[in-house]
Amino acid sequence: MKTSPSKYGNTLEFGHWIGGEEVWEGKALERRNPSDRSDVVARFPEASKDLLRRAARIAREAFERWSRTPAPVRGVTLLNFATALTREKETIARLLVREVGKTLKEARGDVQEAIDTAVFFASEGRRLYGQTVPSEMVGKELFTFRRPLGVVGMITAGNFPIAVPSWKIIPAVLTGNTVVWKPSDDSPALSLLFVRLFEEAGLPPGVLNVVFGGGGGATGEWLVELMDEGLFNKFAFTGSSAVGRRIGEIAGRNLIRPTLELGGKNPLVVMRDADIELAVEGAWWSAFATGGQRCTSAGNILVDAPIYEEFKRRFLERTEATVVGNPLQAEPVTYGPFMNERFYAGWARHYEWASQDGAKLLLGKGRITAENPYPHFKGDPDAGYFGWPTVWEAAPGMKIFETEVFGPTINLVRVNGIEEAIIAANAHPYGLSSSIYTNHRGWAYLFKNGIKAGMTSINNSTVGAEAHLPFGGIRASGNGARESGIWVIEEYTYWQAVNEEYSGRLQLAQMDTEYAQAKEPTDWSKTLGI
């Protein structure tokens, strides 16, 4: 690794990390600070398909050793990793603010989630339980064991550059797998630091390999294609639903079970009996945390008709006070820049098609610039891509209601009663997160049973996750796989059934089993005279 001075710290120059060694190979890329694009954070190479093959083969070699390492010992490595992350938490968080554009508060939370995940799974090394199962034969015992799958191909997004990789990598290596990981090209420096700290914690070389590059038509696509060459036994992906479907197709024809954590259009319902102040705060945070660049960000706020106008007034007041800006120069800000120009361009297009579809713009003027100023902006708006907090009035059936908009945009939708709220909450293709604000236990019950989503909050926001609770969605939000908590272990292991014969002879289940024989039945009604 090489360093040179830059505006907010050093520019880092580094290669891929494969088999415990730095590999300088591939076309040169760079990552700029999204809050101030004059600041070069990192220079790094783009991996070729041949290099990806090499990384997968090195991971295969490492698997032969790592899979035989006792699980409790693997767990100690995770505890060491948690200690390293804790020691470097502030350094990682400040790099995260610079490289990705999050606020310092959110960056610290991102790192803490990885620490919590590592601590949780460190103990799971002593709890990779199988079962002892009774046999129907004498002199025979049955057992089940969890076994690692092999080499995992992995692609993660840049909006949670420490937390989301930890959800995948930590349980994968705990259960004995090895990994070839392509992180987002929005967070290369953070990803290299993640791997280096893991190896400092005792993870053997080759167990976790990081390769850099872009997505479609580049490194990410080539990594996916290696499933067709038999180089991966598992694939894990966080990103768009469209790409997830493509990965699912390739995994399916190779009989690989993928983990797909995809997009969302998450409903937040506010019923007529809700604590409006609490609901406004939760809805505002769900919409604008991380500038709406979360798969769990609220997409539609469905407000019960009797309180709709009051909620709208209060919500617009809260949103108009949102502070936007460069989090390296001003704290606190609610959110910073778009992570890259591509995300900004995708978000900017929604203004046109939302208007064409009949949605009513209540707040928002597109990109914040010196010529299009936002009254609560901190820093130089022309140094990056910053978006106005945007609020629409919309209705089911509109494109803006059904389509994920990855940015600081939210829809207000009027509904009448709990049944209409649930119908509207499900009237889009996704099924990731959801929320309802109500003090009526019956309505809360109807909602959590009627909503089509992998996660539901009651009187809380659509965003936020705890390290020991399953995370994931259904429909266009995922394939039912879950991350975090004990449930993710199913994604990185298979069950092996073992039977041990002690009788010294061949015993055939079902055929040689000495089943109990029923006796002639007694007519108890006659015996009892009833």
How far is Cα 488 from Cα 174, in angstroms, rounded to an integer?
11
Gyration radius (Cα) of the chain, Å: 26
Per-residue DSSP letter, 489: G
DSSP 242-279: HHHHHHHHHHHHTT---EEE----EEEEE-TTS-HHHH
β-strand pairing of 324-325 with 360-363: unpaired
- Using an 8 Å Cβ cutoff, are 348 and 366 in contact? yes
- Using an 8 Å Cβ cutoff, are 251 and 224 in contact? no
How far is Cα 116 from Cα 130, in angstroms, rounded to an integer?
25
Please say if 295 is a catalytic residue. Answer: yes
Q: In the numeric block, which tokens belong to residue 349? A: 């297009």
Q: In the numeric block, which tokens belong to residue 268? A: 């937040």
User: In sequence order, what E strands does 326-400 have?
Assistant: 360-363, 377-378, 390-393
How far is Cα 92 from Cα 14, in angstroms, rounded to an integer?
17
**What kind and span of H or E run contains 173?**
helix 163-174
Please say if 331 is a catalytic residue. Answer: no
How far is Cα 237 from Cα 141, in angstroms, rounded to an integer?
39
Give the number of other CB atoms < 10 A from CB of residue 210: 26
Query: Catalytic one among 46, 221, 295, 483?
Result: 295
Per-residue DSSP letter, 496: E
**Listing from the earlier edge strand, what are the strands of the sheet with 457-458?**
360-363, 390-393, 409-415, 298-304, 266-270, 435-437, 457-458
How buried is 441 (Cβ within 10 angstroms: 0-12 exposed, 13-18 middle, 19+ buried)? exposed
Q: What letters, b where the CB count within 10 A reaches 16 and e where it falls short, cover 254-287?
A: eebbbbbbbbbbbbbbbbbebebeebbebbbbbb
Non-local (6+) Cβ contacts of 80 within 8 A are 201, 202
How far is Cα 153 from Cα 210, in angstroms, rounded to an integer?
10
DSSP 431-458: -S--EEE-S-HHHHHHHHHH---S--EE
Query: Catalytic one among 106, 124, 221, 261?
Result: 261
Helices 104-124, 163-174: inter-axial angle, 10-degree rounding: 10
Q: How many CA atoms lie within 13 A of 308 on its CB side?
A: 16
The residues carrying an active-site annotation are 261, 295
